[in-house]
Amino acid sequence: QKEVEQDPGPLSVPEGAIVSLNCTYSNSAFQYFMWYRQYSRKGPELLMYTYSSGNKEDGRFTAQVDKSSKYISLFIRDSQPSDSATYLCAPGLNQKLVFGQGTRLTINP
């Protein structure tokens, strides 16, 4: 069993839709939970991160963590074509990050 599981997609939605991206993890010791965004042929870049269970909002993006069920979500409201990218979840423990496979998302105009 992989330490972090993420549906690779691809996921295709119309512009303006609410997008939900999800990961599950097996290590209950993870201390913080990150989301990276990767545009085609580019390196990943940090989108947001949170330490605790609950929601963290940043503009149109909301990261949600449920430690009891080991479930991580990223919600994108009012999705835009510029949000088309691969999204990688990455829970971390101390200085170690474990990356999910990434979900490829396409927002259609």
Q: Which residues bind other proteins (CB under 8 A)?
A: 4, 6, 8, 31-32, 34, 41-46, 49, 51, 88, 92, 94-97, 99-102
99 is written with which tokens? 């990356």
Least CB distance from residue 90 to other proteins, whole Å? Answer: 8
Q: Which is nearer to other proteins, 35 or 76 (CB)?
A: 35
Rounded-to-integer distance, Cα 27 and Cα 107, Å: 32
Least CB distance from residue 85 to other proteins, whole Å? Answer: 14
* Four-residue CA torsion sign, 22, 104, 91, 52: negative
42 is written with which tokens? 């580019």
